[in-house]
Amino acid sequence: MISGLYENYCKDLADTLSSITGYSATELSDLVITWFPEYKSQNRGWNHDISNLTIGSAIFILSALLNEALPDKKEASFNLIQSLNGLRSKFNDLSHDPPIGETSHLVEGLLALIKYTNELIFEMPWHFYPVQRNGHQPTVLSGDAWSHSHKQNRQLSIILWYNDNNAESISWFGILAK
């Protein structure tokens, strides 16, 4: 359960960094293999690798993405990856989910991860779940949104100028780099 929280956070961070590079899924997969030939992808594509991301695979993927997307932020990138390495060893020691009451060091690890992320990018992506649809081209979707960067969910309306409004959820990015 707690490991899933970290993995979802890493997925959002990977999505954010991927959007900064502007690379296609194939180019992103090639980038990770170029930086880390020892990385063991299941060769099912970038989306599969990200949807099945673990803290261990996140270390490879995020390292490559950070080097490519934010080459001028090496120290913060190094600190973030070191933080993930520390968390990976803690989870391995605790068989992925610690006993109740023994999570304080994992919370500290998450706070460190957020701190280093904030040094790298402005904010994490928002996840929007539309509950109401009005109009057609443009379509106005209204619903709830959440982000790892904010404590509170937000009620938002989004205008879509194209006809792709059947998705169950939408992720979008604000200003990405500090």
In whole angstroms, give the CA distance from residue 138 to residue 123: 27
Q: Please give the backbone phi and psi of residue 127, each rounded to the nearest 5 degrees, phi first.
A: -110, 120
Number of neighbouring beta carbons within 10 Å of residue 116: 20
| 145 has a pLDDT exceeding 70 | yes
Supply the pLDDT for residue 123.
67
pLDDT above 90: percentage of residues in the chain: 31
In whole angstroms, give the CA distance from residue 177 to residue 149: 14
Helix axes 104-120, 2-21, angle to 10 degrees: 10
SS3 148: coil
Are the C-beta atoms of residues 60 and 52 closer than 8 Å to each other? no
User: What mean pLDDT value characterizes the chain?
Assistant: 80
Q: Give the mean pLDDT of 129-155.
A: 79
| 19 has a pLDDT exceeding 80 | yes
Supply the pLDDT for residue 178.
34
Q: What is the dihedral of CA 30, 34, 35, 39, to 10 degrees?
A: 70
Bridge-based pairing of strands 154-160 and 170-172 is unpaired
Q: Give the mean pLDDT of 14-30.
A: 92
Amino acid at site 174: G
Are the C-beta atoms of residues 58 and 36 closer than 8 Å to each other? no
What pTM did the predictor assign?
Answer: 0.70
Supply the pLDDT for residue 41.
78
- Sorted by where each begins, the domain ranges of the chain are 2-120, 126-172
Q: Among 7-21, 36-50, 64-78, 143-157, which is the least confidently predicted range?
A: 143-157
| 176 has a pLDDT exceeding 50 | no
Q: Give the mean pLDDT of 106-134.
A: 79
With bands split at pLDDT 50, 70 and 90, how would you rate the model's confidence at 5? confident
